[in-house]
Structure 1
Amino acid sequence: MSGLPEGSPSPSVQSLSRMLAGAERVVAFTGAGISTESGIPDFRSPGGIWTRYDPRDFTFDRYVADPEVRANSWAMRRAFFATHARPNAAHQALVELEVAGRLAGVVTQNIDGLHQEAGSRHVIEIHGTAREITCIGALPVDGAPDGCGFTAPHTWALEQIDAGVEDPRCPDCGGLVKSATISFGQQMPLDAVRRAQAEVAACDLLLVVGSSLQVYPAAALPGEARQHGAQVVIVNDEPTDLDGLAHLVVRGRAGEVLTAAVAGIGSDTLG
């Protein structure tokens, strides 16, 4: 794994290799664009979730109030996992950086769990995870779950529905159960956000991969990284509103860019 791979990486990819080689504490901040290469459409592109479901139907308050919304939400989760997505080359490249001691962790907006499946050990999911369900209580208000603490794999709810239970409830307290993801109008998990902010404040290079940088408070992280003196790199297929904030912008598919950039670091620094 020494030197640059065949195919003459672009100057921007070579610059990314040099920046990764010179960094001591990298944090990756990932969005939907890193998972599209695993076959998971992003929410807004053709074939994405919101081309098949109306996002206005999936607010936290409507989920609590309407059993039909809950039924549609479980159908959406079933469709989400029907892709049988697996980690791709971009996920693997980040694992390689972590194993080498260069990547301190991953902060992700994604709910698919592919970073952990690939082998990343330090992952902060600021929008929750679709791989679990959780009790949110009988009648939570103001977007704040108020459950008893019950959690289970997402398959628990689907098995309940397959067994004829139209509206699964918590087996411990009878409260509503919901995918452990953050819905529109739902309060963000403060612990996860604070841990993400702490990781970003401590890094010397924030590697933003596949995020449109349109959803806050997550989109504030690159600015926070710069305020703390870190370099910011944005890897994305399309322009973002924060490209002007970055020290380096690399256009391209996440898997191709990260694989070439990590390979370009060289065996003398990765092993």
Structure 2
Amino acid sequence: MSMTGQRPVLVFADLGALLQSLAGSVPGLWPAIVRGGQEEFQCEPAGDPKEEPSQAKAFAVSVLAEDESDSRLNLVSEALRAGLRDLGLRAVTQQYAFSGVQFSSELVLVQLCCRQGGESQPELAWETDCPKETLRVLVLSEGATRQVCIEGHTWQLCSGEGQNCRPGTSGGQGTAGTAGIAGTAGTVAGRTIGLVPGSGALLYADGNVEALMRPVLLFDASDSTAPTDPSTASATEGPRRQLLQPSGNCGKLPLGLSAATSPMDVAARWLAESGGKVLAFTGAGISAESGVPTYRDAGGLWLRYNQMEVSSLPGFVRDPAKIWAFERDFFQLLDGVQPNAGHKALVELECKGLLSSVVTQNVDGLHQAAGSRVVCEVHGSEVHAICLRKGCGRRCELAGVFAADALWGTEDPELRAELKAQLHELQQKCRPGRSSPTDSSEASSEGQSLPSLPSCALDSSSSSSASAPSSSRSNGVFSPKMPSPRETLEDSLFKVPLCPFCKRGILKPDGVYFGEPLSRKVLLRSLRFAAEAKVVLLVGTNGNVDPARRLPLLAKRAQGARIIEVNPKSTALSKHADLRLMGPSAELLPELVRRTLGSQYAQVT
């Protein structure tokens, strides 16, 4: 089944799914179709062949169904008419062909076709006299396997509960090849789409796929181990398989489902037109693609360690040696981890003058390792340490801390007393009633230029405290019950690193701990970038951690910034996104940057 033109193709697993979409199960779908379909068509006159063809603005919807009765098609026809009438448009329904139908202004032509399967007609085909930019709607039958080609992209489509949905096989009422299958991030060889009953998919001409109503399964045609039931597949089964969740993009495209547009193209245009005011807000997901385990997901660090013992100020004061044992394990975990293509794509955007900054919740330093120059680490850095001694406070890399010649522990009674005093001072910072430290000069020089900043963000302690018990909060600041220093602290001081610069300060990892205030300087800088942003790239964050999660919303409020979410799954911030690119950031960001820099709207430096 081959089509010409560039308009997207709608595929439904069954007529019920099509009817469900008409009933509004996909918000904005049909308005987007009409909004994007106002094309100029040359129409043959219905009467005397000597008459001149007429020009009119109209949009044609061609619905092709198989193995269904005319009564069901009539039901679809009535639903289409009602839906179009709600949009203020009149519809003309012509079954099987367009010939002899006169267009008039603001008419939507609906073509309904039915083809019976069987040996004589193994494949489906639309009428050849459809206008080039007709929107094609394909309705599959139970267990069918079909192949659709458009603009050089080919998809193998499988419907039903999956018994025939295996790459490279035939099933139902036809056969399908496997060459040139396109995926979610451009042209990817060997992709098949599995549709369970009640689901649908939108196939864009650039090779992108969008799930409708229910998840659809994408997997590689060369993978013989692909599951046969899309309803039970998991997104974590392997790199060749992906469970694509509905994103809702189709109803948000500014120009509707018009020719040569897709969510990826629209996002690229927004970046290109931003004037260099793009903010990348990143979370654990982008690092997870490099092999860094996330904290809360399956296999995360908080399932292997007691977070309040190894990532809190009380834990550090009580037993700093345990903290540093954890840090050594974490440092070894990062050994060999490299920035991925997603990190590098952000660097390319920055080098071209389109990205103003990266604001990250990550503590692994991968953005800097990739080459990003402007990075705000709102939760600090676990690849650096900071000296706690007053008058020093210098920062050093953990690589040096764990070097063979590093200075660890001391037997000097005077120095050990100093180290205890430094820990005691640290303990006072998170006692109940103490507010977050502020710098009035910073507030006056940086805060005044920021429009109506949320005070909760400026006064917040560590965002990691979002997972702490509510009873441990006081006036919005996390205030854990402080343990009394144990006698083992004397032994612990033999197993902690000392500052390589002053030689008399105990080192603390520079990540923001539970109960520790965020850096006011870093937070104010992040707020400024957010307040100036015209586009926010929301990459790999679940949006559950305050106050960092408020930054994209501040950008939307301050400048009306457009939010582009890049994530394989839905998050707490998805409802605020203007567009969602669903998939791994290491795959999607390079393609997005490629299209952005190739856009006619790009103003690069």
Fold shared per TM-score above 0.5: yes
* 1:160-204 CA-partner distances (Å, limit 9, x unpaired): 698774222335263321111111111111100000000010110
Residue 222, structure 1, aligned to residue 552, structure 2: yes
Segment drifting more, 168-177 vs 96-105 = 168-177
- Provide closer, same or farther for how the CA distance between residues 37 and 129 of structure 1 changes in structure 2, counting only shifts above 3 A: same
For residues 168 and 119 of structure 1, the distance between their equivalents in structure 2, rounded to whole angstroms, comes to: 29
For residues 173 and 233 of structure 1, the distance between their equivalents in structure 2, rounded to whole angstroms, comes to: 47
* 1:39-81 CA-partner distances (Å, limit 9, x unpaired): 1111122332222211121211221222343333333333332
For residues 222 and 28 of structure 1, the distance between their equivalents in structure 2, rounded to whole angstroms, comes to: 9
Question: Unaligned stretches of 5+ in structure 2?
Answer: 1-184, 189-206, 210-261, 410-494
Residue 69, structure 1, aligned to residue 322, structure 2: yes
- Give the corresponding residue for 1:212: 542
For residues 47 and 177 of structure 1, the distance between their equivalents in structure 2, rounded to whole angstroms, comes to: 29
Off by >6 Å, runs of 4+ in structure 1: 160-164
Q: 2:339 aligns with which of 82, 87, 99?
A: 87
Q: 1:6 aligns with which of 179, 187, 194?
A: 187
Query: Map of 1:185-200 to 2, 5 A cutoff?
Result: 185-200=515-530
Q: 1:224 is paired with a residue of what secondary structure?
A: helix
Q: Do the aligned residues in 2 keep the contact of 1:74 with 1:158 (CA within 8 Å)? A: no
Q: Do the aligned residues in 2 keep the contact of 1:161 with 1:167 (CA within 8 Å)? A: no
Query: Map of 1:1-271 to 2, 5 A cutoff?
Result: 6-7=187-188, 8-10=207-209, 11-24=262-275, 25-57=277-309, 58-82=311-335, 84-137=336-389, 148-159=392-403, 165=409, 166-170=495-499, 172=502, 174-228=504-558, 229-267=560-598, 268=600, 269=602
Q: Do the aligned residues in 2 keep the contact of 1:134 with 1:178 (CA within 8 Å)? A: yes
For residues 385 and 543 of structure 2, the distance between their equivalents in structure 1, rounded to whole angstroms, comes to: 27
Q: 1:34 is paired with a residue of what secondary structure?
A: helix
Segment drifting more, 67-76 vs 216-225 = 67-76
- Provide closer, same or farther for how the CA distance between residues 252 and 81 of structure 1 changes in structure 2, counting only shifts above 3 A: same
Q: 2:572 is paired with a residue of what secondary structure?
A: coil
Q: 1:40 is paired with a residue of what secondary structure?
A: coil
- Provide closer, same or farther for how the CA distance between residues 186 and 245 of structure 1 changes in structure 2, counting only shifts above 3 A: same
Q: Do the aligned residues in 2 keep the contact of 1:160 with 1:168 (CA within 8 Å)? A: no
Instruction: State the one-letter code of the partner of 1:122.
Output: V
For residues 405 and 334 of structure 2, the distance between their equivalents in structure 1, rounded to whole angstroms, comes to: 15
- Give the corresponding residue for 2:90: none
**Greater helix content:** 1
- Provide closer, same or farther for how the CA distance between residues 117 and 52 of structure 1 changes in structure 2, counting only shifts above 3 A: same
Question: Unaligned stretches of 5+ in structure 1?
Answer: 138-145
Instruction: State the one-letter code of the partner of 1:256.
Output: E
For residues 352 and 320 of structure 2, the distance between their equivalents in structure 1, rounded to whole angstroms, comes to: 48
Q: 2:363 is paired with a residue of what secondary structure?
A: coil
- Provide closer, same or farther for how the CA distance between residues 50 and 161 of structure 1 changes in structure 2, counting only shifts above 3 A: farther
- Provide closer, same or farther for how the CA distance between residues 164 and 104 of structure 1 changes in structure 2, counting only shifts above 3 A: closer
For residues 81 and 167 of structure 1, the distance between their equivalents in structure 2, rounded to whole angstroms, comes to: 20
For residues 184 and 12 of structure 1, the distance between their equivalents in structure 2, rounded to whole angstroms, comes to: 39
Segment drifting more, 13-22 vs 119-128 = 13-22
Q: Do the aligned residues in 1 keep the contact of 2:408 with 2:498 (CA within 8 Å)? A: no
Instruction: State the one-letter code of the partner of 2:268.
Output: S
For residues 164 and 62 of structure 1, the distance between their equivalents in structure 2, rounded to whole angstroms, comes to: 19
Superposition TM-score, scaled by structure 2 size: 0.40
Give identity over the alignment, percent.
34
CA RMSD of aligned residues (A): 2.3
Q: 1:218 is paired with a residue of what secondary structure?
A: coil
For residues 26 and 44 of structure 1, the distance between their equivalents in structure 2, rounded to whole angstroms, comes to: 28
- Provide closer, same or farther for how the CA distance between residues 71 and 132 of structure 1 changes in structure 2, counting only shifts above 3 A: closer
Shift of 1:19: 1.9
* 1:210-249 CA-partner distances (Å, limit 9, x unpaired): 0111111101111101111211121112211121112112
Segment drifting more, 259-268 vs 24-33 = 259-268
For residues 591 and 603 of structure 2, the distance between their equivalents in structure 1, rounded to whole angstroms, comes to: 14
Q: 1:159 is paired with a residue of what secondary structure?
A: coil
Instruction: State the one-letter code of the partner of 1:253.
Output: P
Structure number with the bigger relative contact order (C-alpha 8 A, sep ≥ 6) is: 1
- Provide closer, same or farther for how the CA distance between residues 86 and 270 of structure 1 changes in structure 2, counting only shifts above 3 A: farther
Shift of 1:147: 6.9
Q: Do the aligned residues in 1 keep the contact of 2:292 with 2:334 (CA within 8 Å)? A: no
Instruction: State the one-letter code of the partner of 1:236.
Output: N
Segment drifting more, 194-203 vs 260-269 = 260-269
Q: 2:289 is paired with a residue of what secondary structure?
A: helix
- Provide closer, same or farther for how the CA distance between residues 135 and 13 of structure 1 changes in structure 2, counting only shifts above 3 A: same
For residues 408 and 386 of structure 2, the distance between their equivalents in structure 1, rounded to whole angstroms, comes to: 20
Segment drifting more, 13-22 vs 228-237 = 13-22
- Provide closer, same or farther for how the CA distance between residues 95 and 262 of structure 1 changes in structure 2, counting only shifts above 3 A: same
For residues 585 and 287 of structure 2, the distance between their equivalents in structure 1, rounded to whole angstroms, comes to: 9
Q: Do the aligned residues in 2 keep the contact of 1:67 with 1:167 (CA within 8 Å)? A: yes
Segment drifting more, 162-171 vs 72-81 = 162-171
Q: 1:237 is paired with a residue of what secondary structure?
A: coil
**Number of residues of Structure 1 aligned to a counterpart in Structure 2:** 259
Instruction: State the one-letter code of the partner of 1:81.
Output: L
Q: Do the aligned residues in 1 keep the contact of 2:273 with 2:603 (CA within 8 Å)? A: no
Superposition TM-score, scaled by structure 1 size: 0.87
